[in-house]
Structures are given as C-alpha cells and as structure tokens.
Structure 1
Amino acid sequence: MNRMKPERKLRILTVCQGETPSTHIRLYDPLGRMEQAGRLQWRKAYLASLSRADLDWADLILLQRLDNPAGFDAIEIAHLYGKPVIYDTDDNWVDPPPEYHPAYVYHSSILVRNTVERYLSKADLVTVSTPALAEAFSRFQDRILVVPNTVDFEPPEPPGREGPCVRIGYAGTRTHDGDFEVVVPALVRLRREFGKRIALVFLGCLPPGLDASEVELWGFSDDYKGYLARLCRLGIQIALAPLRDNPFNRFKSNIKYLEYTLAGAAGVYSRSPAYEGSVQDRITGLLVPHTEEAWYEAVKSLVQEPFLRKRLAAAARRDVAERFPPERTRQAWESAFSTAAREAAGRGRSRAALPSGPRKRKKVLYIGSGFLWPHTYIDEFLVRAFSSLGLEVAFCPLVPTPFYEQTVALYSRFDDRFRESTLLRSLDTVTSKFGVRWVRGGRGVCDPAKV
C-alpha cells in the first residue's frame, strides 16, 4: 500500500536590512508562532548577506522596509522562477519625514524615496499596518493588504497596590523628540506642582528639555520581548504617547496603545489618526489635543484620580484582548501569502501570453548627482516627470566625495535667494533644452501632477 507523502509546508524567507521593533512585531513574532504551530516554515536573512541558496529554498520572499536597491536582483530572480514577493512596511517613507526626525536627511533624498517607490511597484503584494498607509501607497500598487500590528506577549498581572508616588512614563526612541515639544513644559509644571509625589520614567531616550538628574532613564533591551518585559517591570501608571499633527505621523499605527495597555498603564494619547480609531476617550484612555495645556490637564487629572487610572487601564486590557489578539495578525499573514501566490501565478500566465518585442513599460536609467545641492531639486523634478509619463525610473547617484565637500563649503557662503535664483536658471536651461514645461511646487520641488 502506497503512503501519500505529507504536503510540504510553505517556506517563507524574510529579508530586512536590520532588525527593528517593527521586524519583531510584524514578522518574527507572528511567523515564529505560525512555524511552531506547523503552519509554515520560516527563515530570516539580511539583505547584505542574502544568498542564492536562500532564494532557492523559499517559496515566497517577504521583504521588509527595504530602501536599498540591492534587493531588486532578488525580486528579479524570484519572479523569474515564479515565486511571489511581498513588500512590507509600517511607515510612509515615500514622503520626507518631519525635520526633527533623525532620519530626515536620509529619507528626504530622492534616491531613497524613489527606491522605496520601486519596491512598492515591483512587489506582487504590499502589506502595511494601517488603512491610511494603504491609501497613500495606492498610487504605486493596487494590491495592498492591511496586516495590523498586534503584540504577542503574556504580560504579568498588574500590581495590587501602588507605590508612594505616581509613575509617569514614556517608552520609545529619539524619533519622537519633536512630538514632545509641548509635553515637556507640561511635565516641568507637574514636577514643580507635585514634587516627589510623581516620578518621571523614560525607557529608551530622554526628550530634550528635561533634566536627567530628575528622571529615571532606562536603556532599551536587545530584543523586543526583553523591551516589553522591562516596560512591564517599570510600574508605569500613566503612559504618554504624543504625536504632532504632520503627514508622517498620520500614518502611524496604534502600537503604543497596545504596549502601554499590556504594561498595565493608563495612557494619554494625542488626538491623532493613529489612536482615534482604537482608543475610546475616557473609556480606554485619554485623547487630548496636542497642546501644552491639554497635556498638563490630562496628566494632572490622572495623577489626582487613582480610581480613573485603574478604570482606564482595566478597560484597555479587556479591549486589547478582544479587538487586537495576536491571532488576528497571523490570520492576516495567511491571507497575504495566499493573495501573493495567486498574483504571482497570474503574472506568470500573463508573461507567457505576451508577444515578443519591446516591453510596454520602458525604463529610464537616470544618473544624477545624488546629494549635491542644487542638483537634488533637479533630480527630484526629472525623476517625478519621468514617472508621471509612465516610465520606471532607476536613479543612480554619483557623489564624488572631494567635490561634495568643496561644494558644501562653497554654497554655505551664499544666502537662500542666491540658491533659489541659481536653481530656477538651472531648471529653465534643462527644461527648455528638452522642450519640457515645468511648474514650481513646494520648496522648489515640482509637482508631477502639473507637468
């Protein structure tokens, strides 16, 4: 009697440039659980050491937050052998982040943003953390699936008795320094008013404007589970989640709500899209306008009302357990894998049916100056103009280091009006030579919709 061989489990290869909390939240934790349950096989790789053997092993390639063009070869190989490719991200790196963000200079480069756009368009499926992010990326890809963030962690039971002072805290990175501009003055006022009856606790960073000698400052753990365990041990009773209203923050997820709730804290959140869809004001947390006075009054009310703190924290725990269970993310990934496989199969049939001859979508190799001003503005204009014409643009920068240093020193001697006039003359020369009309947009960058 012949025995049927067991069906081989789906092999998932995740590729990232480096591990971040997002990598653990969105990939490692859910895929690890799914592998333990026998639902798939999973292997992780880093872009710098990605090998052909990794690609041969995988049935599906899952790229996360890549902004380096080195991954394009992997996509081409995967597509050549009919393997689906998913691109996952939980931030909007297509548009520049706010100027206070540590990655502002890097992600303001047209090279980086154009690379992200190409990943979005080349993948068989794009997965994101929020519906707002899916809508923002719809101009690059029509196959987008929301895989929500959830936290797979068993928190300890909250302490039965509170300590002698109310612990007010924040857990996060320097990327939110600008979000704390209105919160720091409110905390200084509260510290002056309540003295030692409150304690300020920060995990990961200390926002500018606070005295390090007057706060508890804790470093991050090496892994995400260790970070969550430390957050829970700190005994924070009032947790802060400020977000300024800007285009970058509008695409953020509610991850702080999930983490603070697991830590047993009552959260105060900026009234922003990241939290308005999940936090119920005065039921599972406090939603406040992003002003100093609003933050001061909200935190003060929780300091003075222990019953309200406990009620909000308990309600939030029930809410997260019911609406944001980790299984929700795992089910979304299974749906994503099935969708990507169907798209890859359809792409293979379409490719076989195409007649021989030139491809309909032409490519442009644009060799630019990279990060040299004012050429970055010209690069931005031309890349956007080519893209608006339906051309796929591969941007290749040339940055000779000695010339770059000399140019920076040279341009630092001139004021903005000189730079502006130089830019306008350069654009006029380039566009008139090629018979292209250009329209000036914000900050001298052209709007492709007007070209």
Structure 2
Amino acid sequence: MTQVNCKNISIHVLYEHSNTTSPHGSSFIRLLLPLTHPTNQETFLVSQGTRFQAADVTIVERTWKSNITLSQAEKLVEKVRRNGTCLIYSIDDNLLDLKFHAIAQNELADEKLMVIRYLAREADGIIVSTHYLQQRLSILNSNIFVVPNALDERLLESSISGESEQQNYQHKTVIGYMGTRSHDDDLMMILQALRTTLRKYSGQIELQLIGSIADVSILKAFHNLSVKVVDVGGNDKYPDFMRWMSQNIKWDLAIAPLEDNLFTRCKSDIKFLDYSALGIPGIYSDVPPYQNTVRHLETGYLAENHSHAWIEAFEILLNDHTLRQKLAKQAQAYVLSTRTLKHCAQDWQDAILAIHTRS
C-alpha cells in the first residue's frame, strides 16, 4: 500500500465489550495497542469508548455490544454519516460461521449475525487479520485490508531482555496450554493423546492449563493425572496478562490444537506468536492458520489432527531437549524480528489512511 502523508487524524474506537464495559483482549491486540503505538502517535489522535464520539474515523470492532441490536447498529451508522465520519469495521474472527460450530458456548444470536453483516456492508472499509477472513467477507464489502496480528514488544520486555529465561527448574517437564471457553473442542480433539502421554510419563511431566474451560467434564477426564490449572491472579486484562506470562510462565513445551472448519480456517496464528515470543517451543495443528507461519521442525512442530500424530509429536519433543531449544530459539527470533508492533504498527496506519482517503 502507498503511504499517505496525513497528520493528526482523530480516531474513535468503539471496542467490543461485555457488561463490564472493559475492552476484550482482542481489542487491545487488534486496535488499542497498535493505534497508540509510538509508530502511529504523530499520525493518529486516538480515543476509545463504548459510545459514539465525533472523529475523523470511527472504528467499530466485531459485535461492539454484548446485547447489540440491528436498530442500534443502524442508529450508529446514521450518526457516523451525519458527522461525515469515515466508518471502518474491524473483525478478527469468522463470526458468520461460528454459530454452526460453537453456538452453545458463544450464544451468537441471529440478531448479532445481522449486525455483523450490516456493519460489514455499510463500512467504508474493513480490516481483518487473515486472508481467509478477507475472502469470507468479500461478498459483503470489496474494500478489505489484511493486517496480520502482531504483539506489542512493550509487554514482552522480560522475554526480549532475557530476564525471564525459559528454563524450568522443576523436576517435571511442563506442557502448557492457553485457551478460552470457545476452544473446548480443540482441546477435546487431542484429549486421548494428552491422557496417553500423561499416563506414560507419570511423575515426569505435568500439563498446565491457563484460561477458562466451558465444559467441566474435560477437567474430569484428567482425573488422577498430573494436571494443574494455573491461577493468573488479578492479571486478567490483556496487557497485565502478557506481562504476567512473560515473567512467570516456565513451560518446556506448549500446544495449540485447532480443529479445521469454516470458522477456524479464518483464525490467526496468535498462539504461535504468544508462545514463541516467550521462548517456548510449540506443537501446532497442521491447519491453515499455522501452515502459513510455522516451519515444521524449524520454528515449531506441525501435527495432523488425530491422536496418533499428536502422540508422536509428544514423543519426539519430550525426548529431545536439543530440538526443543532449537525450535524455541528460531521461533522467538522470527517473532521478535518480524511480528511485533515495532515492525508492524505501520501496517495499521497504511490500511486506515487508505480507507480514509477513499471515503
């Protein structure tokens, strides 16, 4: 994209929020941190909130409100148009196909689906995280820019400086998993492989889980096995959580299982970024979100989505400390040199300016 020389463009971010009105983690990753990064400070004057505020550019994220109605979305667009504001829609998940795979966990009502389609059509442009998502939404809007996820290096100072050396001083080798309630099916997919591995190496390895699990039966399936649910304390807010991870997590190996379907195909490689930035080698499902980034046996291990493949991956990596170190070092070097906001924040500026100048 050709950079446009613009200064002091005011941007108001209507971030996605629940009843607490606090921004979700995706809001920080996709909007709040990149837009306020030093790279963009001379170009953008950024405000944020849950209600419309006059600005040169209004960016609406995902479903905006937890109880959003089509009428509220229409009123928002009316205000934007009256104000002569450029409207940008930001979305990082294929929510249009989510209800077919995870409606029970996410309660994505039909009205929200209508809101998503409406905002996507009405927007002057859309910013997404992957090319798959760009293709999925292209029937709604032809002006879509792909800006891949990147981590804010300011939250990773311990890892970047080497203060948090990823070496586990416990007697057990630790396998880590970080997930949310919407990823239960992904964890269930490799449940047999995890149980088999934990039994075989009983007393030698431990599985640590960070995040929330919707189905408590998953934890029950690990009964009598070495599994620990890690308490993050009061560090739930994304910036605090990443700093906490950087300073406290000492995993020998991390996992990122992911089913392959219409919804997950549009996901990003964010778990690869998180694990790799912290110097943790990972096993990733051999599916599009990771195939486009992870180099097998160079920056990670790609495993097919069946138990035998994951058991084999565990066998190889748990018994090869040198390989784990190699994967961790090379993956971290890639992320810190390529996928941090220091290198990528400019992409947000280019996309927003391109949409703004055409609106």
Q: Of the candidates 228, 244, 247, which is equivalent to residue 216 of structure 1?
A: 228
Tell me how far apart the structure 1 counterparts of residues 40 and 83 of structure 2 sit (CA, whole Å).
28
Tell me how far apart the structure 2 counterparts of residues 190 and 24 of structure 1 sit (CA, whole Å).
36
**What is the TM-score when the length of structure 1 is the normalising length?**
0.69
CA RMSD of aligned residues (A): 2.1
Tell me how far apart the structure 2 counterparts of residues 101 and 329 of structure 1 sit (CA, whole Å).
33
Matched, 1:119 2:133: no
What amino acid is aligned across from residue 8 of structure 2 in structure 1? K
Matched, 1:272 2:272: no
* Secondary structure of the corresponding residue to residue 309 of structure 2: helix
Q: Closer, same or farther in 2 for the Cα pair 1:80/1:266, shift >3 Å?
A: same
Q: Of the candidates 173, 190, 199, which is equivalent to residue 192 of structure 1?
A: 199
Q: How does 1:149-228 map to 2 (within 5 A)?
A: 149-152=149-152, 153-154=155-156, 155-156=158-159, 157=162, 158-159=164-165, 161-163=167-169, 164-206=171-213, 208=218, 209-211=221-223, 214-220=226-232, 221-228=235-242
**What is the TM-score when the length of structure 2 is the normalising length?**
0.86
Which position in structure 2 is the counterpart of 1:433? none
Which position in structure 2 is the counterpart of 1:75? 77
* Secondary structure of the corresponding residue to residue 168 of structure 1: strand
Residues 317 and 324 in structure 2, CA contact (< 8 A), matched pair in contact too: yes
Give unmatched runs, 5+ long, in structure 2: 1-5, 18-22
Matched, 1:42 2:41: no
Q: Of the candidates 248, 252, 256, which is equivalent to residue 241 of structure 1?
A: 256
Task: Give, in angstroms, the shift of residue 147 of structure 1.
Answer: 1.3
Higher relative contact order (CA 8 A, sep 6+): 2
Task: Give, in angstroms, the shift of residue 36 of structure 1.
Answer: 7.7
Q: Closer, same or farther in 2 for the Cα pair 1:310/1:101, shift >3 Å?
A: farther
Residues 62 and 86 in structure 1, CA contact (< 8 A), matched pair in contact too: yes
What amino acid is aligned across from residue 181 of structure 1 in structure 2? M
Q: Closer, same or farther in 2 for the Cα pair 1:329/1:238, shift >3 Å?
A: same
Q: How does 1:373-392 map to 2 (within 5 A)?
A: none
* Secondary structure of the corresponding residue to residue 337 of structure 1: helix
What amino acid is aligned across from residue 223 of structure 2 in structure 1? D
- Bigger CA drift: 306-315 or 319-328? 319-328
Matched, 1:28 2:32: yes
Which position in structure 2 is the counterpart of 1:441? none
Identity %: 26
Task: Give, in angstroms, the shift of residue 176 of structure 1.
Answer: 0.8
Q: Deviations over 1:234-260 (max 9, x none)?
A: 201111100111111000000000000
* Secondary structure of the corresponding residue to residue 177 of structure 1: helix
Residues 237 and 264 in structure 1, CA contact (< 8 A), matched pair in contact too: no
Tell me how far apart the structure 2 counterparts of residues 83 and 133 of structure 1 sit (CA, whole Å).
25
Of Structure 1 and Structure 2, which has the larger fraction of its residues in helix? 1
Task: Give, in angstroms, the shift of residue 96 of structure 1.
Answer: 3.4
Which position in structure 2 is the counterpart of 1:62? 59
- Bigger CA drift: 301-310 or 73-82? 73-82
Q: Closer, same or farther in 2 for the Cα pair 1:337/1:306, shift >3 Å?
A: same
Tell me how far apart the structure 2 counterparts of residues 60 and 34 of structure 1 sit (CA, whole Å).
19
Matched, 1:335 2:350: yes
Tell me how far apart the structure 2 counterparts of residues 134 and 211 of structure 1 sit (CA, whole Å).
42
Tell me how far apart the structure 1 counterparts of residues 224 and 277 of structure 2 sit (CA, whole Å).
27
Tell me how far apart the structure 1 counterparts of residues 341 and 39 of structure 2 sit (CA, whole Å).
14
Number of residue pairs matched by the alignment: 329
Q: Larger C-alpha radius of gyration, 1 or 2?
A: 1
Tell me how far apart the structure 2 counterparts of residues 183 and 22 of structure 1 sit (CA, whole Å).
26
Q: Deviations over 1:91-145 (max 9, x none)?
A: 01122344445445x32x4322121111000000100000110011000000000
* Secondary structure of the corresponding residue to residue 150 of structure 1: coil
Give unmatched runs, 5+ long, in structure 1: 1-6, 345-451
